[in-house]
Structure 1
Amino acid sequence: MADTDGPVAVAAGTDEVLRHPAAGTHLLNARERGRLARFRREPARRDFLAAHVLVRLCAGRLLGVAPDEVPFAQRCPTCQGTGHGRPLLAGRPDVHLSLSHTDGVVAAAAGRVPVGVDVERLGRVHGPGVMDRALTPVERALVAADADPGRAFLRQWVRKEALIKIGRTDLDTLGRLDLSELPLDGRADGTPLRFGDLYFTDLTDRRLGALVSAVGTEPVRLDAASPSPASSPHGPGF
């Protein structure tokens, strides 16, 4: 299979990913297996595993290889440790990865340009202190005026979390980064939104009950996986 032309991102239910014929703990490296063993709650353990499987499926689709051929690794930009931090492909600095998971839903992205992805459950409630720290005054006014303020806030939240993962902001500067020029509902046709040198692709998936945002220095193709896993280890369903 030839490499794809651009960055890809996928959102899927945890159970969907773990039913994929290529899924399993055999894909994980030793550090990932160690982290997996430390989870006390089985749902959280499954979300972690599914996200780490899905990022390999995305990288496999990008590169045209099976997920067990994806040399996944992580490195912390602060301490340079390899047991946590930003995902990457060992020996492939030309490939960029991102992953996210919440209760029962996961997302992942892979590209030859920097990419970031984040997912949140629809209906998740954040306290007012979080909104104050995460949004600018203009953004807070737009969210408050929206017909569904909770959903409007989550849209901006996942966009900003994706920006953290791409290295364009951090938790201390979220409240100074203004995305108010971007429509809260995205574009009806799914066309990516331009923001400076970046492109946002937004997805609201009612079946998954989740909001997803992917950002890249090129437009990111963002899909929701079909309910039935693909027969190929890196087929179109993932």
Structure 2
Amino acid sequence: MSSRPSDGPARLGDMTSDAIATVATSADVLRHPEAGEHLLTPLEKERAARFRYESGRADFVAAHVLVRLCAAALLGVPATGLTLAQRCPDCGEADHGKPYLPDHPGIEVSLSHTKGVVAAAAGHRPIGVDVELTDRGGTLLDVAPRVLAEAELRQVREHADPARAFLRLWVRKEALIKIGRTTLDGLAAVDLSALPLDLPGDRPLLSPFEGLQLLDWVDEAHGSAVAAVSELAPRAVELSAL
């Protein structure tokens, strides 16, 4: 990732956080020494095979590999020993919904993928992560009146770059959905207008929000905006640290 905390990217030996998040291109993840479809469960392989285009399949596989790498880093175990499962809280199906580690209930995980870029997070408390391409900001801006609180909408409209400002709010709110703090239908009721919309230079921004710690940053190298949220302050780490 190009954006990093002021003290540099975290390495495994100097992590002070019990929650980590990372973003990388799908191609870079799939080149990781531990990466490979051998990590996936039969259901994950079946789901990957359903993608019509190879690019979509690669993004799916990379996200499911990256979240294992994050969890393995916290646990101090090889990624090959981790089984990832999903369960929808509404319908109970196992081919979508919140991801979790059946054999490690003490570790919470989250993943996200967009075109060519994936993000993942792991922690000892519930955690959510979202990534979006920055060039999507203008398209997503059309839904702003439906998903933003009135104060947020004013902030976005008055911002020098409304599309970029909205995208930052969007990934923050998507991360809050992942952690179970809100739903798609309830996004407008979540008011993040008290949080800064502009980042401190090229460093990630950590903001408190209603008992949570929300970390977000822009990865200019990969053209993406990322947000991670947990009760414990997430730490942005480099793929090379995993």
| Same-fold call, TM cutoff 0.5 | yes
> How big is each residue's C-alpha offset from its partner over 1:94-149, in whole Å with a ceiling of 9 and x where there is no partner?
11100000011100000010110000101113255411111111111101111111
Partner of 2:134: 122
State the distance in 2 between where 1:187 and 1:6 align.
23
State the distance in 2 between where 1:150 and 1:191 align.
19
Partner AA of 1:94 in structure 2: G
Q: Structure 1: where are the runs of 5+ without partners?
A: 231-235
Among candidates 155, 166, 179, match of residue 192 of structure 2: 179
Q: Structure 1 or 2: larger helix share? A: 2
The answer to whether structure 1 residue 192 and structure 2 residue 192 are counterparts is: no
Q: Once the 2 structures are TM-superposed, how far is the Cα of residue 92 of structure 1 from its aligned partner?
A: 2.3
Matches within 5 A, 1:151-166: 151-166=164-179
Change in CA separation of 1:211 and 1:128 when aligned onto 2, cut-off 3 Å:
closer
Partner of 2:73: 61
State the distance in 1 between where 2:182 and 2:31 align.
35
> How big is each residue's C-alpha offset from its partner over 1:7-44, in whole Å with a ceiling of 9 and x where there is no partner?
11110011100111111111100111110010001111
Matches within 5 A, 1:1-238: 5-124=17-136, 125-127=138-140, 129-188=142-201, 190-225=204-239, 230=240, 236=241, 238=242
Q: Structure 2: where are the runs of 5+ without partners?
A: 1-11
Q: Tell me which of the two structures has the higher relative contact order, counting C-alpha pairs closer than 8 angstroms and 6 or more residues apart.
A: 2
State the distance in 2 between where 1:128 and 1:186 align.
19
> How big is each residue's C-alpha offset from its partner over 1:137-173, in whole Å with a ceiling of 9 and x where there is no partner?
1111101111111110000000000000000000000
Partner of 2:7: none
Say how many residue pairs are matched. 228
Change in CA separation of 1:127 and 1:161 when aligned onto 2, cut-off 3 Å:
closer
> How big is each residue's C-alpha offset from its partner over 1:60-79, in whole Å with a ceiling of 9 and x where there is no partner?
00100111111211111112
Q: Once the 2 structures are TM-superposed, how far is the Cα of residue 93 of structure 1 from its aligned partner?
A: 2.1
State the distance in 1 between where 2:78 and 2:141 align.
44
Secondary structure, aligned partner of 1:156? helix
Q: Once the 2 structures are TM-superposed, how far is the Cα of residue 80 of structure 1 from its aligned partner?
A: 2.1
Secondary structure, aligned partner of 1:100? strand
State the distance in 2 between where 1:224 and 1:181 align.
29
Partner AA of 2:197 in structure 1: L
Q: Once the 2 structures are TM-superposed, how far is the Cα of residue 81 of structure 1 from its aligned partner?
A: 2.0
State the distance in 2 between where 1:187 and 1:127 align.
24
Change in CA separation of 1:202 and 1:127 when aligned onto 2, cut-off 3 Å:
closer
TM-score, with length taken from structure 2: 0.89
CA RMSD of aligned residues (A): 1.8
Q: Runs of 4+ in structure 1 displaced over 6 angstroms?
A: none
State the distance in 2 between where 1:154 and 1:127 align.
7
Aligned identity (percent) is: 49
